[in-house]
Amino acid sequence: MKTAVNPGERWLSLQASLCKRADFRFQIRYIEVQTPQYQMKRRDMSSSRQRMLDAFEFNNPDKIPVVYHPSPAGLYRHGKKLLDLFNEYPPDNPVTFDSIPAPPPGTIDPNGLYYEIRQDEWGTEWEYRIYGIQGHPRKYPFAGWEEAKDYNFPPIPILDKTELLKQRRNYLIFSGWISIFEKLHALRPMDEVLMDLFTENKHLLIFLDRLVNYWLETIEALIKAGVDVVVFGDDYGAQSSSLISPGLFHELFRPRYQKLMEPVKKAGAKVFFHSCGYLGEILDELFDLGIDGLWPQLPLYENDPKFAERCKAHRAAIYIHPDRQKLIPLGTVAEIKTAIHNYAETYHRLGGGGIFYIEIENDAPFENVEALIKSVHNER
């Protein structure tokens, strides 16, 4: 005999959807139905890939995704303790923690100080004084923008498509680091770049368009390989304002980003934009361009109590990147736990849009590192 179900009682609909890519496993999901009398939380047995997709779509992920960045600086300082902690609480990105990095032979002087000079594939020579931390440009591949007309760009990156397809079974694949502003001041001194942008130096603009064409080829390769999320990386902000005016961004950079983002959108992939510092009105330009995700320095935006809601209104997920300027290196364990609780509460309430991002450098005591990772695990 069948039991009658009152219309006001909660009920579940079981839906099985066949995964269309790479693996043909069924993903079983309980779909929530809300009635005026009852609300139920969705129970979702998600893979990391599905969890990420749900976060981007504000589709109530079963938990907030977390991404780890394997910074050599943090692993070198904390060693096996950090390695074990990362492995005890695995993330939602395909990263392996199986060794502790160390400075190359010959880079530690008799006083125990690290010093290294390396040339990157773009031809810029960099000086490093803290192992695992970004260095400073020391020598450039050309003497000026007019000379850059003969510059040969690096080869287009080649991805291991077989390995990438294997990873896509369980993970949403981020790749790229498409950079036009940062790349300019990695190839010539910052002060020169800012002046030449302001005066609209014709040789710089010619090079900038060549750079955009190089990145278009790179994006095409990423899309063909099956990348899900193309990452852009250009820092436009200082501590309290942008490095260039919103007007200059709108005139010189926005149309070039639009050109770069179009093939990503056309392919059904996502645009994820990293930019440190306070962007001001430039953030509105990025929202208008239709970015799917933002990787900001959150503390610089927290004076705006509606920042998270603003991101949701533009359908932009964000990396929840806890304050590495003060909180993580200098805060207390209790302060870290409170901050993570508040972030989690916000993005649970919004039904998604948040992705915890953890990058450990060499400046945080281990008790703070442990509190961060465990708090994220407990609150997500």
Phi, psi of 359 (to 5 degrees): -130, 115
Task: Answer whether residue 37 shows pLDDT above 60.
Answer: no
Amino acid at 241: S
pLDDT digits (tens, 9 = 90+) for 190-235: 999 999 999 999 999 999 999 999 999 999 999 999 999 999 999 9
Amino acid at 304: D
Q: Are the C-beta atoms of 28 and 14 separated by less than 8 Å?
A: yes
Amino acid at 92: D
Query: Residue 159 forms beta bridges with which residues?
Result: none
CA distances from residue 100 to 27, 51, 70, 347, 371 in whole angstroms, order as listed: 36, 29, 10, 33, 21
User: Is the Cα torsion angle 175, 181, 185, 188 positive or negative in sign?
Assistant: positive
The closest alpha carbon to 357, from 378, 379, 372, belongs to: 372
| Complete domains list, the chain, with CATH | 1-45 (no CATH), 52-103+143-379 (3.20.20.210)
Q: Which residue has the higher pLDDT, 130 or 1?
A: 130
Where does the pLDDT of residue 46 fall: very low under 50, low under 70, confident under 90, or very high at 90 and above? confident
CA distances from residue 51 to 46, 81, 226 in whole angstroms, order as listed: 6, 28, 18
Which token pair is 181?
């502003």
Instruction: Compute CA 85 distance to the chain's CA centroid, rounded to the nearest angstrom.
Output: 21
pLDDT digits (tens, 9 = 90+) for 128-169: 999 999 999 999 999 999 999 999 999 999 999 999 999 999
Task: Answer whether residue 329 shows pLDDT above 90.
Answer: yes
The closest alpha carbon to 129, from 119, 139, 115, belongs to: 115
Which token pair is 51?
């969890």
Where does the pLDDT of residue 302 fall: very low under 50, low under 70, confident under 90, or very high at 90 and above? confident
Question: Hunting for tokens 């001001």 — which residue is that?
Answer: 280
Question: Hunting for tokens 């990157």 — which residue is that?
Answer: 120
CA distances from residue 190 to 183, 186, 193, 196 in whole angstroms, order as listed: 10, 8, 5, 10
- Looking at residue 35, its pLDDT comes to 36
CA distance 292 to 319: 11
- Looking at residue 45, its pLDDT comes to 61
- CB under 8 Å to 210, separation ≥6 — which residues? 151, 153
CA distance 336 to 357: 14
Which token pair is 300?
């610089």
Q: Which residue has the higher pLDDT, 81 or 3?
A: 81
Q: Which residue has the higher pLDDT, 24 or 318?
A: 318
Which token pair is 28?
């079983």
CA distance 9 to 168: 38
pTM of the predicted model as reported, rounded to 2 decimal places: 0.87
pLDDT, averaged across the chain: 89
Where does the pLDDT of residue 36 fall: very low under 50, low under 70, confident under 90, or very high at 90 and above? very low
- CB under 8 Å to 248, separation ≥6 — which residues? 197, 198
Helices (H), the chain: 48-56, 72-78, 80-88, 161-168, 181-187, 190-198, 202-225, 246-248, 254-266, 282-289, 307-313, 327-330, 333-349, 366-379
